[in-house]
Structure 1
């Protein structure tokens, strides 16, 4: 079971609609997050999922306000305070290696150059935590001064197109049952995948 879901992003109005804020956009659109009373705590916006949603279990939610590169400071502080092991933590983040609005549930593994994940790993002392990856695709025609190297930093900090927002608005509500299962069922998240890949073909391991 998952005891902490952390949505990685950047604070500030200028970042609200950017690709790097895909997880915060998801948190704002998921019905399962609607009952959370957010408060400034643990270096971010902190809350708990309502007991009526979790079946009485304490499940925490966090949107770090440290900026992406230091997300682990907030996640680590909360995890230490509530003594939550890394295996019960789910990090929701944007993912360059997936097409726009594709969803992947992943356990441990590499960090894919994601600075937020790198910070979380440093704070927890391990990469053995869960990730829910929201695809943002790789930059197409957007290149840096070198035609051979895409401007990744500029791309992730640029705004979603309207077409991409439409894809997210279609994909994200379908995640509500999956999130409910992750925070209520006393199973390893990996055990949920076979059933959920049939219900939501966009979900992968």
Structure 2
């Protein structure tokens, strides 16, 4: 069985450290664990890494390991679904084997929430994926970034870097979210929620 794990974000170095790109950071960590570099998927507007994941972790070919396609789209956030739809179709992956890792304003910084399906909550990347997959019934690993302080516009907030205090904690957050992806694929939703939701 093949799983598609998508890390949402905007392409290019000017966006790389933004809160909106935390999903892409998590997928990059999974690729690092696999010891693989992203390659451009021709005609798919995405970069991918194909590896395996099992009880011994990512990139370790153990018995029962499942095929894993890691994906970062090469479009802006509001067109994320284009690349996700193309990669899913190419690898014949159904929505119930798609995991989307994304930032979430309504969750405190560093907290994770894992779920299957649900609304888009104003997230343009999720809206685009729903449009291109034809359903919202895919897994989401929601990485909390918290609400903007004061009257700051949420759109400006997500397109800004993490605070200095948050940047110190961010590597641990990314590591934990990557662990959640591995657990979801190997152990299922309930076990993942019990371990990581909080």
Which bin holds the TM-score, normalised by the shorter protein? Answer: 0.7 to 0.9
* Structure whose CA Rg is larger: 1
Any conservation in 2 of the 1:111–1:118 contact (CA below 8 Å)?
Answer: yes
Counterpart in the other structure of 1:158: 160
Is the aligned partner of 1:87 residue 2:104? Answer: no
- TM-aligned CA distance change 1:195 to 1:110, over 3 Å: closer
Show the counterpart of 1:21: 21
The answer as to 2:70 corresponding to 1:61 is yes
Matches within 5 A, 1:98-109: 98-109=107-118
Partner of 1:146 in structure 2?
none
Paired position in structure 2 for 1:192: 191
Instruction: Return the TM-score normalized by structure 2.
Output: 0.86
Secondary structure at the aligned position of 1:170 is classed as helix
Higher strand share: 2
**Structure 2 Cα separation of the partners of residues 81 and 152 of structure 1:** 35
What's the counterpart of residue 7 of structure 1? 7
CA distance in 2, matches of 1:85, 1:7: 17
Cα distance, 1:75–1:194 mapped onto 2, change above 3 Å:
closer
Instruction: Give a deviation string over 1:54-76, Cα, whole Å, max 9, x none.
Output: 74432111000111010000000
TM-score, normalised by the number of residues in structure 1 = 0.83
Consecutive unaligned residues of structure 2, counting only runs of 5 or more, are 53-58
CA contact (8 A) 1:2 1:182 kept: no
Query: Do the aligned partners of 1:2 and 1:183 also contact (CA within 8 Å) in 2?
Result: no
In 1, the alpha carbon distance for the partners of 2:126 and 2:171 equals 25
Superposed CA RMSD in Å reads 2.2
